[in-house]
Structure 1
């Protein structure tokens, strides 16, 4: 996991990370301190009930996301993001001065005005924050960078919430809150000065001040790329799901676990630590690339541990409530509750980090910030909808544990709907599961596979999962040409069909299928796609390369494109190979986590390719390790 933490030493990342961390900390310090202050000292400020004040404060903070996200996205595409970062920090200092005035004047309207302005501050920084990462990080660093940002944000939220509560309870707490907020904002400004330039992708953009038409336009940008839009919908659903759980913690701690304020802090800290761990583990599990196969894995965990939290919750309020933390922890089943909450956070990290990275990497650079603005708008809309739905269900008589269970089942339904619309999520999950449960894959030379344009990839054929191993290693989609019998294999057929593999049969068996396959290959190459080919035409029965068939020559005659030779090492003898009999005749005969390798050679110009020469190159790449 050291690969992501080295970013904290890099000037292109560290100042930005510290700036966003301090901003998230300050937002939550002031917001939570104000809510605590109004909850326990409401009578000295207003005649409005404390419960209403808390909800009003939450609504005031989130309102700017609806009003100004579209404008924020335009500004982030029009101006240098490093310049905007510093501007936002200056605004934060001014906002905290307004908050100080509100405390000194004992004026609730001024304090709510400062809270609204802090919401504006977060709204303006959101598109800058996520659109800046792809400009300063390499593709293989994007997951790690997002993981650090997400983990840092949740830690900042936790610490800010705790410190805000402590300051609100202290003597002269109002002055401590305002003074601390000003100090943090000034520190954030100085860290922002170290953020390297991030030039505007569209400096000539004319800003549309109408938030309604521009919001619709931003959503239109997001909808141009269906996987990106569905990633946004997945992110928004996560924020609904997570916010629903977080919002119930105070009532759950008091009315279900029988605890007090310390129990609320314990629940929040457990969930936050889980999110941080899951986010950081993402970089390790994804191999440093944007691995959307982790998204289904995350959704499964969110459902299972959401249900487990519902079932693990006490059915009867413990006697003697409110209890101290020690007494709460001593209750039977409490460790299971905390474990479920921790794992909810971990799997939430698995779910959210790849979606953020996917949204950034696949959205067009020219309007990436506006796509992120659309994401922020939908996030806010989903969170408000979730809060209203949770309130309605609780008002109808549902208990909080049952509400958790209903949310978990809804999560499963939403996940299945998204994965049905975009099978790529499930395909990558199946491939990721194979590579991380049966094999340990090492790669070499994959930079030779072109990032754009057509090419034919050729490889030795050792097992029934060769195509899946190559697909797991190569982030660019590959359309494999494969024997129609392997194409129809149970379970794997789902993967092959949805990855648009091309089934082929020998000419003597089905000449029409063979001609259709070559026609499909030509169409795919003409469209700039990658074609994967196993020139042997069959899986080896003895571990050695079979003679290459003439199909590759026919493809290159019709489509003169580069050829990239690959070689698989270590798959001979695995349960999916034909060593000592049919595949799967001896499951797990080599155990789990077998070491395998995929090696790529330099691309070959089509006019230099000969079938015997290509076979020699693949054999040399493979070497002696079958």
Structure 2
């Protein structure tokens, strides 16, 4: 099934489109961060780098709902082509910003890329059940999830090299335009879909449509529980990837190579977890193991915290070779791979279940609601973590990792109690009396 999907016209174009898009987003974000770090003062760099993350995530809160409505009201493949064509134009703007060294232009380009990603997210996940059978759905989600994390890793590495190695500007510009063009060309081969909700009107009030999407997602208990689970994974991942590099740098002395390797370990783990999910599911949408995956996430998080809690701050820089040959380095590497593997086994089947539970005429809007919830959880996790790290509270980073592990134990108990108890998801999709966004009372079948 895995090989068949990768070469199938029903899936391969979407796979490569998503891969190039995720690579590009993280390339631009990292390139901007490097320009900020090396071109502005140290005091201003931190807030600007944090602002860059917010600038990219913010459109998800406002535009995901519109993206879901647009996808349900149109041929998803056609909308994908128009979005990626617009993204190619954004790439030209980003290339100009890099060429002229304009941080402001890069911020504008990053916001535009965030907007395109927010509009595209309901399409890339909403279109999978249109082209894949139920038996292929978990594998399709696993591939998309794995490709996204590998592309994020490569984008981070490429962006770092761009900022640190003084690469020839014309090569960077060619790379930016080439990646944007590749993503657009991939959409030309995505098969068309029928319109899921003909006559659906796009809500112009972005804030109202976002709140409506979340409210309507809550009308189905199992969709809401599944959405909370996917969002919890993104919160845990975002907080982990903000804390672990700090811990490794401050308490072990990890250099640039070690910091990059952290992302490599996480990407490897997610890939292994996604593959394990496919093997366990065997053509089903299988969620029985999800709460236990959260328990393993907790174990690995707590172990990273315990491994580093007794260490003091160091000033020497440790190479990647020394890191991997040390007991503490090897322990953290194993913990990160295990954590990400458990995370993949937690999130992939839940998202496949959410897709399966969504009726065809509203699936993209359900995905949009999940995207909004993901963004809210990541923002909330980042704000809470930053507050606890502040000088006023000053909770040590290893303690925060242990606390996040304890929170995952609570999440495991919650999802063990609330998720459907069947071994495999075989229930029919939820149906509603009225279309989402149309107003009025809704009744769940």
TM-score norm. by structure 1 comes to 0.66
- Structure 1 equivalent of residue 77 of structure 2: 82
Q: Cα distance 1:312–1:113, how it changes in 2: closer, same or farther (>3 A)?
A: same
Give the counterpart of 1:414 among 394, 411, 415. Answer: 411
Alpha-carbon offset, residue 186 of structure 1 = 0.5
- Secondary structure at 2:285 match in 1: coil
- Structure 2 equivalent of residue 95 of structure 1: 90
Alpha-carbon offset, residue 289 of structure 1 = 0.7
After superposition, residues 356-367 of structure 1 pair within 5 angstroms as 356-367=351-362
Q: Distance in 1 between matches of 2:287 and 2:65?
A: 27
What is the root-mean-square deviation in Å for CA atoms of aligned residues? 1.9
Q: Distance in 2 between matches of 1:252 and 1:411?
A: 20
Q: Distance in 2 between matches of 1:20 and 1:231?
A: 23
After superposition, residues 114-193 of structure 1 pair within 5 angstroms as 114-172=109-167, 175-193=170-188
Give the counterpart of 1:475 among 406, 426, 430. Answer: 426
- Structure 2 equivalent of residue 598 of structure 1: none
- Structure 1 equivalent of residue 26 of structure 2: 28
Give the counterpart of 1:315 among 288, 310, 319. Answer: 310
Q: Distance in 2 between matches of 1:59 and 1:217?
A: 23
Q: Which has the larger radius of gyration?
A: 1
- Secondary structure at 2:252 match in 1: coil
* Alpha carbons 2:251, 2:314 under 8 Å: kept: no
More contact order relative to length (CA 8 Å, sep ≥ 6): 2
Larger fraction in strand: 1
* Alpha carbons 2:291, 2:415 under 8 Å: kept: no
1:10 partnered with 2:8: yes
Q: Cα distance 1:263–1:87, how it changes in 2: closer, same or farther (>3 A)?
A: same
Larger fraction in helix: 2
Gaps of 5+ in 1: 432-471, 478-626
Q: Distance in 1 between matches of 2:278 and 2:235?
A: 24
Alpha-carbon offset, residue 318 of structure 1 = 7.4
Alpha-carbon offset, residue 319 of structure 1 = 5.7
Q: Distance in 2 between matches of 1:206 and 1:259?
A: 53
After superposition, residues 216-295 of structure 1 pair within 5 angstroms as 216-295=211-290
Q: Distance in 1 between matches of 2:371 and 2:288?
A: 24
Aligned residues: 427
* Alpha carbons 1:99, 1:111 under 8 Å: kept: yes
* Alpha carbons 1:26, 1:160 under 8 Å: kept: yes
TM-score norm. by structure 2 comes to 0.92
Q: Which string of whole-angstrom CA distances, capped at 9 and with x for unpartnered residues, describes residues 406-445 of structure 1?
A: 00101111232233334x2xx34xx5xxxxxxxxxxxxxx
Gaps of 5+ in 2: 429-445
- Structure 2 equivalent of residue 404 of structure 1: 401
Alpha-carbon offset, residue 330 of structure 1 = 2.9
* Alpha carbons 1:33, 1:177 under 8 Å: kept: no
Q: Distance in 2 between matches of 1:227 and 1:118?
A: 32
* Alpha carbons 2:302, 2:402 under 8 Å: kept: yes
* Alpha carbons 1:279, 1:350 under 8 Å: kept: yes
